[in-house]
Structure 1
């Protein structure tokens, strides 16, 4: 006899966050099918624009990806000639990352689309709810980053 009751997944934060992530990635892919860029690639390019010459480990921390994942993404961005690795003049073993002119152009071509994607993701909510939702998600993430 089974005495364990199922949990209502539709009321659990973990399940809802996973579903929201699936929805966000799906909308991103649907809207940018011709751009040949993933959400992770966009995040890395965007972070590199803000911090040109950052090393791979620092970049991984900045975009909250493990170094192995970011390394494979950077490899794909290099293959597209959107990112370049350069030796650190102070430590030749350390590689610094920069966005190439082609990478800047690719990023520029999708930035407006990415802004529209964010609007579409939040579209079921009122403007006030959108602001509150983003604020609360930010607090949630920041609260767990301190752990």
Structure 2
């Protein structure tokens, strides 16, 4: 008798489901902000590293550099991000948060922290620590390979 693959027990399926839960919680908590998780990651990275170029920014948020251009374009159209010419290389554009972007991001930080807590809330404190440790280990070892 032929047995099918147990998708429900597959790591890829469980990671995808966890991602779906994470994104749904993000959108629930940040609906009024009209921002996606990737847009938030870009804004947050720009707060920490103002004046970075698009390729470096994409690497910092683990996002495809080509696709990040459209995300940055949407953030520009919202007035949250601006491109500036590099003083050394005029062809290179550097990204910065606008004052409006800084204000919007500051307003999102508490909600994003609440999302992260809610994602992990079904687990006990020790389980949360173990889960985060193993998840970080999984990602770092795949990235190193």
TM-score w.r.t. length of structure 2: 0.97
Specify every segment of 5 or more residues in structure 2 that has no aligned partner in the other structure, as ranges: none
The within-5 A match list for 1:46-57 is 46-57=44-55
Q: Deviations over 1:46-102 (max 9, x none)?
A: 011111111000111111110122111100000011000001111011000001111
SS at 1:92 equivalent: coil
- Rounded Cα–Cα distance in structure 2 between residues aligned with 1:29 and 1:92: 38
Aligned to 1:132: 130
For 1:51 and 1:145, the matched residues in 2 are separated by 22
2:8 aligned residue: 10
| Aligned mate of 1:63, from 61, 64, 89 | 61
Give ranges in structure 1 of 5+ residues lacking alignment.
none
Distance in 2 separating the partners of 1:36 and 1:133: 30
Could you say which residue in structure 2 is the equivalent of 1:86?
84
Aligned length: 145
* Aligned-partner Cα distance in 1 for 2:128–2:54: 33
CA pair 96-4 structure 1, distance change in 2 beyond 3 A: farther
Partner Cα separation in structure 1 for residue 71 and residue 3 of structure 2? 41
Find the aligned partners of 2:70 and 2:139 in 1 and give their Cα distance.
Answer: 24
The separation in 2 between residues aligned to 1:27 and 1:92, in whole angstroms, is: 41
**1:115-140 CA deviation, whole Å, 9 max, x = no partner?**
00011111110011111111111111
Q: Distance in 2 between matches of 1:31 and 1:94?
A: 36
2:119 is the counterpart of 1:121: yes
